[in-house]
């Protein structure tokens, strides 16, 4: 019931929201989508990746580069980007899991790959190097689905469909055989292995699904923002931005990443507005407040907002 009301509200949003509100909503949905992708790996299978900006960036550059250089639209680029990211995820997963790297070491390995790639792209001529790559912003009033060009509402709906699709996929995955295997691995990998679960294989599958999903977010990023700089897109802050939502919302839950993305984005924007209203527009002050709130949430709600909220509302998570 609640879900249906929310669905109708979200579908009708562009009818009454202005462009600013729509851009905030699109950003929330983008983060909710990417957060769900990360959640498959960390929340379900228990593998802490701190380098998801790698897949966002590579996918953005694959689809963006094809469009920029050869005029190949994002629909073809999307598949290639997903394939490339899935292979990269598989390669990193293979190396890490085969050599028995887990926990903090795995997290640092994912950062290392993202940083390595960031600096690599800074020196890659095909993508414009540090100067960036700019996709043509042809027009904003007509919907050109083939090239994914159109008004803000089109991007909003695209992201809404993607986020809803990711939610359905995650809900299905969590209740499938894979979901139970992953949760067993997350809780106790040795015990899972002793039960006969091929932990290597299922961790690989989690990694490939997660990286392919993140690739979709990356392609969206390229065609929504239209300018790509290695310094920004591969930066560790982009990974952190993806991770914050699920951790604040509730790692491993279905609603957590979505709720977390919404809470953090609204929080960030309202801090900006509030400080502007008081006239305190000093650089850095917004992030300090943001950091303090993050600190408070992580200290007092160790499992995230959603599990606490669900308990209060009497719904199962």
Q: Are 213 and 86 in contact (CB under 8 A)?
A: no
The two most distant CA atoms of the chain are separated, in Å, by 62
Query: Does 7 help bind another protein (rule: CB under 8 A)?
Result: no
Q: Give, to the nearest 10 degrees, the angle between helix 199-225 and helix 177-187.
A: 100
Of 6-14, 61-69, 103-111, 142-150, the segment contacting another protein by CB under 8 A is: 103-111
**Cβ-Cβ contacts under 8 Å for 128 (sequence gap 6 or more):** 134, 228
Query: Does 288 help bind another protein (rule: CB under 8 A)?
Result: yes
Contacting another protein (CB under 8 A), which of 20, 70, 75, 99? 99
Q: How many CB atoms within 10 Å of residue 103? A: 10
Of 104-112, 156-164, 191-199, 265-273, the segment contacting another protein by CB under 8 A is: 104-112
Query: Does 112 help bind another protein (rule: CB under 8 A)?
Result: yes
Query: Does 105 help bind another protein (rule: CB under 8 A)?
Result: yes
Of 147-155, 215-223, 258-266, 289-297, the segment contacting another protein by CB under 8 A is: 289-297
Q: Is 205 helix (H, G, I), strand (E, B) or coil?
A: helix
Shortest distance, CB of residue 237 to another protein, whole angstroms? Answer: 8
Query: Does 133 help bind another protein (rule: CB under 8 A)?
Result: no
Q: Considering only CA atoms, which of 274, 75, 45 is closest in space to residue 158?
A: 75
Q: Between residues 104 and 276, which has the closer beta carbon with respect to another protein? A: 104
Whole-angstrom Cα distance, residue 15 to residue 219? 26
Query: Does 279 help bind another protein (rule: CB under 8 A)?
Result: no
Regarding beta strands 227-228 and 133-134, do their DSSP bridges make them parallel or antiparallel, or are they unpaired? Answer: antiparallel
Of 6-14, 136-144, 259-267, 297-305, the segment contacting another protein by CB under 8 A is: 297-305
Burial of 60 (0-12, 13-18, 19+ CB in 10 A): buried
Q: How many CB atoms within 10 Å of residue 149? A: 21
Q: What is the DSSP letter of 254?
A: S
Q: Are 233 and 62 in contact (CB under 8 A)?
A: no
Contacting another protein (CB under 8 A), which of 244, 261, 264, 305? 244
Query: Does 302 help bind another protein (rule: CB under 8 A)?
Result: yes
Q: Between residues 31 and 158, which has the closer beta carbon with respect to another protein? A: 31
> Given the rule CB under 8 A, which residues bind another protein?
42, 48, 50, 95, 99-101, 103-105, 107-109, 111-113, 115-116, 119-120, 122-123, 130, 236-237, 240, 243-244, 247-248, 251, 282-288, 290-292, 294-295, 298-299, 302
């Amino acid at each position: 019931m609640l879900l249906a009301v929310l669905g109708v509200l979200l579908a009708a949003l562009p009818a009454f929201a202005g462009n600013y509100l729509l851009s905030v909503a699109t950003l929330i949905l983008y983060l909710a989508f990417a957060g769900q992708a990360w959640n498959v790996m960390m929340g379900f299978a228990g593998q802490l990746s701190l380098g998801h900006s790698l897949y966002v960036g590579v996918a953005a550059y694959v689809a963006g580069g094809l469009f920029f250089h050869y005029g190949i639209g994002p629909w073809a680029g999307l598949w290639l980007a997903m394939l490339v990211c899935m292979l990269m995820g598989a390669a990193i997963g293979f190396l890490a899991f085969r050599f028995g790297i887990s926990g903090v070491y795995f997290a640092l390995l994912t950062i290392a790959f993202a940083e390595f790639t960031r600096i690599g792209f800074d020196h890659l001529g095909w993508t414009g190097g540090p100067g960036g790559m700019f996709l043509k912003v042809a027009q904003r009033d007509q919907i050109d689905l083939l090239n994914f060009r159109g008004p803000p509402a089109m991007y909003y709906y695209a992201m809404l469909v993607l986020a809803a699709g990711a939610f359905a996929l995650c809900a299905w995955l969590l209740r499938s055989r894979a979901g139970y295997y992953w949760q067993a691995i997350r809780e106790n990998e040795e015990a899972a292995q002793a039960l006969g679960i091929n932990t290597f294989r299922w961790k690989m599958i989690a990694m490939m699904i997660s990286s392919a999903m993140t690739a979709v977010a990356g392609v969206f990023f390229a065609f929504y923002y239209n300018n790509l700089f290695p310094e920004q897109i591969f930066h560790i802050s982009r990974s952190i931005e993806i991770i914050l939502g699920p951790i604040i919302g509730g790692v491993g839950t279905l609603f957590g990443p979505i709720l977390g993305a919404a809470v953090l984005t609204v929080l960030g924007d309202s801090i900006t507005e509030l400080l502007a209203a008081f006239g305190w527009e000093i650089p850095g002050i917004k992030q300090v407040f943001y950091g303090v709130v993050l600190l408070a949430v992580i200290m007092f709600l160790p499992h995230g907002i959603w599990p606490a909220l669900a308990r209060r509302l009497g719904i199962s998570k």
